[in-house]
Structure 1
Amino acid sequence: MYDSTIDFTLDTICPCQEEATLRRVRATDASSKVTFTIKYLPYQLYPGASQTGEDKYEWYKRSCYGDSDEKMKMFQTLMTAYGASAGINYKFNGTVANTLPAHRLIQHYQATSPNGAEIADKLVLSLYHQYFEEEKHPSSAETLLAAAQAAGVEEGEARKFIADVGKDQEGMHELKVLIGEEAGNVLDQVPVVRVEGRKRDVTITGANEVEDYVKALMQIVRESE
């Protein structure tokens, strides 16, 4: 059995189809040959965003698409298609805001829990679901607590960690170091998925179809023996 780590560099407001890919691959005999474990690495597309946030639709239209309704509609069509391939029902309203507190939550439990990889997976899935499908704030205390509960973190423990917003927040220094490291590895497009292989690694950058990820993982499986 070959153990492969998938380094997944993301901002928590970026689309992800890795979970759908893993479900597909694990449903084949690949699961008897390779164990895939995701390691989430933090990156901020817009580190200057406020924690209060602003209207998501208007922000994307203004910041990414030249305040063009036509270009925004094209983006919605594209992302809706990507989402459909991964079982995600994208919505485009809600709030866009600074994602640093969400990254802090993910990195803390990924690094400190005995089953950190499993908890991190559940945290990310809940954060995505809340942001993309329920139009929730990406890193409010309410959103983070809901994600922690979905991941099986004890409520009192989660509340205490999330409420720590002082100068010496637990894990914040380490988080900022990781973000700095990934900023040097990533140009301007996330997610970046690096799949560790026995013979060679595979890197996929940006939003892709599920089939692209499946192809990459199956290549790792074929070359694992």
Structure 2
Amino acid sequence: MTKLTVDVVSDVVCPWCYVGKKHLEQAIAARSDLDVTVRFLPYQLDAAIPSGGLPRKDYMLKKFGDPARIEAMHDRLREVGKADGIPFAFDRIAVSPNTLDSHRVIRWAGEAGVQPAVKDRLMQAFFTEGADLSDLAVLARLAGEAGMVESEVREWLATDTDKDAVQADIARAQAMGVQGVPFFIIDGKVGVSGAQPADTLAQAMDYAIAQRGETGAA
């Protein structure tokens, strides 16, 4: 079985990143001949949001201006999400968080071997339940639900542990030319930008394997 690593640069409050994550899962599920390791790398759509977050409605109006435009964006995402099993519930989101702490939790989840589950739980909670990801107790609880030790996560979040490391990872992604997310880095050399269909991601995986002289067969 051919081993492959896919690094996913994304933000937990990016709806297209959630869609892209589902598409990647579909692409991997269709390729039983591959042993794929997925690693989630941080990116912040808006690092200027204060640590306590901002009222969602006010934030969206300031960012996009027109309520009709916002609703049209949400309608499109609801339609896309329906096809991918994501019941987007934008009306439940009350707070737009600064996601630095979420990315710290995701980093620790990687060390604990449960990163995909934690990443999924945070995105699910934000987009379908309206969870406030600026609340450290909420982050710890969600991490616990996805396989981490809640009390440990709560203790770590009370410190500045790995804030610099997360920011350094974001800076590296930007230095590589990542300007929008999701961004997929396959086998360390093939880049795919955007929430591409599962077939496109599968083709990119095949291309990455071909680039190293393998056929993709076991």
Aligned AA (1:81): E
Deviation at 1:44, TM superposition (A): 1.2
Match of 1:103 in 2: 103
1:76 equivalent among 71, 74, 77: 74
Q: Please tell me whether the aligned partners of residues 20 and 182 of structure 2 are also in contact (alpha carbons under 8 angstroms).
A: no
CA distance in 2, matches of 1:157, 1:143: 13
Deviation at 1:220, TM superposition (A): 5.5
Helix, strand or coil: the match of 2:115?
Answer: helix
Worse overlay, 35-44 or 52-61: 52-61
Deviation at 1:39, TM superposition (A): 0.9
CA distance in 2, matches of 1:36, 1:17: 19
Aligned AA (2:43): Y
Deviation at 1:26, TM superposition (A): 4.7
CA distance in 2, matches of 1:194, 1:179: 14
Deviation at 1:143, TM superposition (A): 2.4
Match of 1:205 in 2: 193
Match of 1:20 in 2: 22
Match of 1:224 in 2: 216
Deviation at 1:221, TM superposition (A): 7.3
Match of 2:165 in 1: 174
CA distance in 1, matches of 2:43, 2:88: 22
Match of 2:179 in 1: 188
Aligned AA (1:173): D
Structure 1's 210 and 94: CA in aligned 2 closer, same or farther, altered over 3 A? Answer: farther
Match of 2:53 in 1: 53
Q: Please tell me whether the aligned partners of residues 25 and 218 of structure 1 are also in contact (alpha carbons under 8 angstroms).
A: no
Unmatched segments (≥5 aa) in structure 1: none
TM-score, normalised by the number of residues in structure 2: 0.84
Q: Please tell me whether the aligned partners of residues 9 and 193 of structure 1 are also in contact (alpha carbons under 8 angstroms).
A: yes
Helix, strand or coil: the match of 1:49?
Answer: coil
Match of 2:83 in 1: 85
Deviation at 1:215, TM superposition (A): 4.5
Match of 2:43 in 1: 43
CA distance in 2, matches of 1:176, 1:27: 32
- Cα RMSD of the aligned pairs, angstroms, is 2.3
TM-score, normalised by the number of residues in structure 1: 0.81
Aligned AA (1:35): D
Deviation at 1:217, TM superposition (A): 4.2
Aligned AA (2:216): S
Aligned AA (1:24): Q
Q: Please tell me whether the aligned partners of residues 8 and 38 of structure 1 are also in contact (alpha carbons under 8 angstroms).
A: yes
Alignment coverage as a number of residue pairs: 209
Aligned AA (1:194): I
1:128 equivalent among 111, 123, 131: 123
Q: Please tell me whether the aligned partners of residues 50 and 98 of structure 1 are also in contact (alpha carbons under 8 angstroms).
A: yes
Q: Could you tell me the percent identity over the aligned residues?
A: 22
CA distance in 2, matches of 1:179, 1:27: 28
